[in-house]
Structure 1
């Protein structure tokens, strides 16, 4: 049963009939040859581009862009394994159409395989017996080690010509139970109709994908990101950015290969804690009452008045001595300058605007015989005026601002008047920088409202350097003009703005690098969203002005409980335009495991929506003693491929194919074998039940519980 394309098992004699696979063999061969041709072509073009020497004008920019395009193309082609083709569709009228991870045409422009994201490919995922979408049939391929090791057909008409391949469920179930690797792989070949409908949904507003463990929420989220980058005009050609927010770093490592494997690079992914430098290392808050206070949007709202405290006009004026006399900035001048600062500009960056207005006020009101530009430079270089501006509009670090809230009760009371005296006292601490995970939303809000003080200082220094360069240039120009034979012509040339720009090039002096995680983003994908507090939701909403999000989660997996509806939760944080897609079929967890896990969660959350398992692994849940942990893992690894996750063990180290995690860091991941150690250690109540439920449902094949 072996060929260059098909390597079917001996038990699949009927499927090896040449009449069933000859056309596929020819098409797969042509596709493989085309990938090689395009790789060689892109490699040659890249070499030529790198050797280009004419970089004058825009040629250098065009060359760099072409190099980046070719490098990206080569990376995409290199990631295309033999499983480039997912399957094919057989229209009632027309030739078969092959569906792939990317689209490819032959050298003459004839289509070999179409991208799975195109509208023409949609029936491959969406067709059902009730709605065949114009198809007579559909074929899925299962690849392994560079060849098709199985395929299955579905027929939507009465044609029985290829009945040997009509074993869709057995092959489909086998593919779901295949061994997992250390990183998540694209599962395009097994995406179901309900998942595809969510993937291709409109990006307007919020798409909420609600479903229990194993229903493919993460699959939907990631493939939806790839689909939107291809199909959404706001995101095509790099016009907008997508942010993927995961629950923890192991999750981000697990999904890292999915989007590149679909041909999409450069998508930003992070945890919410990582939006603040060092935030991913902050410990949890020890006092649940403090956590509850910091989790509210009302607490985040305290940042605005906290910054506003430093933007109030002074009650006294200041005198500034210069070479051209003494200038007085009275309270009315300060008030006028402060009112002219544009709203919405981060505080530290807005000091430039304050300077500009203040200098305009002083220069316009000056009664001195001096060039206005010279006077502006003199005032801007004045140390007394700099100190005065620094007092009125200081540059502030986000950590200092939030730290003051936790160490100065009067300041916190002023900025958060909704707090009682007891709550103000509860939030105080001796060390202002003893940050916890619950401080991250406030630190993030402060960073966004304040901006980078370091960038503002660098910009100020750059302007001083530019002013000094121009002063020196003016002196040199004056000397040249004084000694020139034709003073008129030389003066006209040297005083021209263009030539001054060449002599004093300040283009690179003021360049602020943007914060890659600060946004704005055109679309945000957030996984395990049931755990987010209102304060954390504010972090996402502020980064996505369009309100376009994909939110995936399961209310039954919320450790703190989730009594309200999704609609109520999202409306409270400002997300009102919500479309819900509910996934109810568990493709990952075997029925044997799901039965035990369902009992765990329903004991604490009776109305939990537990998905139905689609398959049985034929292996019952095993129990044993904690002392047997090492033997259980070793024995399984000796006879099985795939991955193991040990949850709840203390002092048991990870190794190849074995991860040691907590219930929290296991969220969103999946493993062939899960060994749950001492499940009672997670305690009672909703939190304990959720920990056990999450732990058990990470399994795709077997579960062992050690007590």
Structure 2
């Protein structure tokens, strides 16, 4: 038998028909999964909970378990099989019999508890992704399955041990490329992003299974699967460290709501339902954002130097005492002199505590000084006396003067409204021009009336953390990270100070004025300087001709990056068409909609309204990014600013020159163009009336 054999057969009931046996195992596995779900639904907790709180928690856990056991009809229950040469753990002992394991998205067992499908994250499943003829990992045969809808219709065998490979069925020259793998990668994409659990490659699997204790940064060009790798790493960590992450929590941070909507089905399809998703704006939503900064102001506000400006401004509220504190208890008066109060304040400052925690500690420190005097006078005060002294009116008044409460939003409001206050605390950090850039032209009177921007909200979040420590999660995935400012990195980083992070991005796709210059610098701002940086260069999504054309821009936008090398067998198609106007764009949309799969019409933001009117007049229905497509509405009209992270089977890119010109500078514009050029899975058509950017020709 050849090293890899692709078989696509009609249904059969013969015992010697492998496809019929695999279909039988699929049917039995679905029945077993249904029984597991029914068992979970039938659980009676009426007699096992002590109170209604426990009952509610347990009921919610059962409901989540039932949801996780859902059998999705269009999602294969298993996608592969491993035939081991020896029983796992037998260390090759003579006479140890090998076993077969079906690899799928979740664990399924029969009524006796014997596994029928093994979770792809289990250690025994790892060779499905890593084994090769060079290192078979004790696997004799790896079988992949092909599905049409939910029906198993084909399988492909790869013999990893034994005689050397001869041919792949249907090809020549000893090729070892999996046809089913190629078919799955190139399958049309309609609707939200799907998981890649059946097609994970060895270099991707290495990142997915990296440990919880370490942080990882993945640099990956378009179509290298970095987003999928990050999501699958979350799923793996939840499997390997479920109890710990159940306590500490996990979070996926994306660039915008459209992107989060696009990826939101990946983790549920893998049985993980508890991972929160948010944008950076969601994380720092302390105030209502109603305004937008000019680029120059946003750059300064996003600079890491602002963290020190805020720290100085906050701690400037701490005052040194000029008078003693006198505490009256009964007939006795206890006096804490000013020099002793100053020593207590300086001790708290030296400890580098959060501002709010130190403020709460100060009355106890003063009370302790009083108790020391009481003990010297022969009294025997206890903790209740100390608490009473800490609540004494004189002590509270002193604390209010020495260490007053500060509201983070009011602190930022004053910095942006009061030139003198800003100049005092930005001295040596921001020059006069930078200070003038971020000062509001019309100072707001109150927090509620202020027109806050997204960058302002990040500053408030930084100030809030200086006052009170931000809660840390167990693991955070940060996608499209190249577009974050240093202050935004800090905002995400404080959500995982005691946890780890997976950072995903592509330096060539940075389109903000503050885009990341290097991952080392970004990881420093994130608070994860020791994170391992990995690079993915094999392209699975973008066709060869398209990525080769788009890579013409790399020397101009990211000279040091390795171009993506597409490994797809199908080169796709790519065409540049001169256009006379919107009629030609509409005609091209009709043409692409004649193919199977999704279509994205991407254009400069300013051109979207005109194109929308033209599509409507032509009777072509479309949706906006983040809205659900349907079999009859497969066209998405995408502003170029929202294209990042999205993918479509076919892309029609309108007026590349307009995409470039819409950005504040040419370098940023070319990066935006690189993003829009690399959203296609099967083909790209580019229409233009104005000349193409010189960097493409």
TM-score (norm 1): 0.78
How far has the Cα of 1:577 moved from its partner? 2.2
How far has the Cα of 1:385 moved from its partner? 6.0
Paired position in structure 2 for 1:106: 110
Paired position in structure 2 for 1:650: 608
The count of aligned residue pairs is 625
SS in 2 for 1:213: coil
Deviations 1:159-178 (A, max 9, x none): 88997699954332222222
CA change 1:600–1:341 in 2 (3 A) is closer
| Aligned counterpart for 1:250 among listed residues 249, 258, 261 | 258
Q: Is the 8 A contact 1:217 1:552 kept in 2?
A: yes
Q: Is the 8 A contact 2:364 2:387 kept in 1?
A: no
| Aligned counterpart for 1:118 among listed residues 105, 118, 122 | 122
Correspondence 1:210 to 2:219? yes
| Aligned counterpart for 1:431 among listed residues 443, 450, 464 | 443
Paired position in structure 2 for 1:580: 533
Paired position in structure 1 for 2:277: 269
Q: Is the 8 A contact 1:304 1:449 kept in 2?
A: yes
Paired position in structure 2 for 1:640: 596
Bigger Cα displacement from structure 2, 271-280 vs 36-45: 271-280
How far has the Cα of 1:245 moved from its partner? 1.9
How far has the Cα of 1:21 moved from its partner? 1.4
SS in 2 for 1:310: coil
Q: Which runs of no fewer than 5 residues in structure 1 stay unpaired?
A: 1-8, 453-517
Paired position in structure 1 for 2:692: none
| Aligned counterpart for 2:210 among listed residues 187, 201, 209 | 201
Paired position in structure 1 for 2:20: 22
- Counterpart-to-counterpart distance in 2, 1:321 and 1:368: 17
Paired position in structure 2 for 1:465: none
- The 5-angstrom pairing of residues 165-184 of structure 1 reads 169-184=178-193
Paired position in structure 1 for 2:338: 331
Paired position in structure 2 for 1:594: 547
Correspondence 1:522 to 2:531? no
CA change 1:328–1:229 in 2 (3 A) is same
Paired position in structure 1 for 2:35: 37
Correspondence 1:304 to 2:311? yes
Q: Is the 8 A contact 1:402 1:442 kept in 2?
A: yes
Q: Is the 8 A contact 1:154 1:168 kept in 2?
A: no
| Aligned counterpart for 1:405 among listed residues 404, 410, 415 | 415
Q: Is the 8 A contact 1:180 1:643 kept in 2?
A: no
Deviations 1:37-78 (A, max 9, x none): 111111110xx22x44x754xx65554443233212101012
CA change 1:283–1:677 in 2 (3 A) is farther
SS in 2 for 1:188: coil
CA change 1:55–1:189 in 2 (3 A) is closer
- Counterpart-to-counterpart distance in 2, 1:271 and 1:403: 23
CA change 1:388–1:546 in 2 (3 A) is closer
Q: Is the 8 A contact 2:309 2:425 kept in 1?
A: yes
- The 5-angstrom pairing of residues 240-389 of structure 1 reads 240-277=248-285, 281=289, 283-288=291-296, 290-317=297-324, 331-332=338-339, 334-335=341-342, 337-339=344-346, 343=351, 346-361=354-369, 386-389=396-399
SS in 2 for 1:190: coil
Paired position in structure 1 for 2:64: 72
- Counterpart-to-counterpart distance in 2, 1:249 and 1:204: 29
Q: Is the 8 A contact 2:367 2:387 kept in 1?
A: no
CA change 1:209–1:396 in 2 (3 A) is same
- The 5-angstrom pairing of residues 545-584 of structure 1 reads 545-546=497-498, 548-559=500-511, 565-567=518-520, 569-571=522-524, 575-584=528-537
Paired position in structure 1 for 2:672: 691
CA change 1:585–1:42 in 2 (3 A) is same
- Counterpart-to-counterpart distance in 1, 2:417 and 2:112: 72
- The 5-angstrom pairing of residues 217-228 of structure 1 reads 217-228=226-237
TM-score (norm 2): 0.79
Correspondence 1:139 to 2:143? yes
SS in 2 for 1:221: helix
SS in 1 for 2:573: coil
How far has the Cα of 1:387 moved from its partner? 5.0
Q: Which runs of no fewer than 5 residues in structure 2 stay unpaired?
A: 1-5, 87-97, 445-449, 613-621, 624-628, 689-697
SS in 2 for 1:210: strand
Bigger Cα displacement from structure 2, 341-350 vs 597-606: 341-350
- Counterpart-to-counterpart distance in 2, 1:162 and 1:612: 25
- Counterpart-to-counterpart distance in 1, 2:473 and 2:205: 24
- Counterpart-to-counterpart distance in 2, 1:293 and 1:561: 9
How far has the Cα of 1:224 moved from its partner? 0.7
- Counterpart-to-counterpart distance in 1, 2:339 and 2:500: 44
How far has the Cα of 1:610 moved from its partner? 1.9
How far has the Cα of 1:437 moved from its partner? 2.9
CA change 1:347–1:564 in 2 (3 A) is closer
How far has the Cα of 1:133 moved from its partner? 2.0
Q: Is the 8 A contact 1:179 1:643 kept in 2?
A: no
Paired position in structure 2 for 1:414: 424
Name the one with the larger helix percent: 1
CA RMSD in angstroms, aligned pairs only: 3.7
Paired position in structure 2 for 1:92: 85
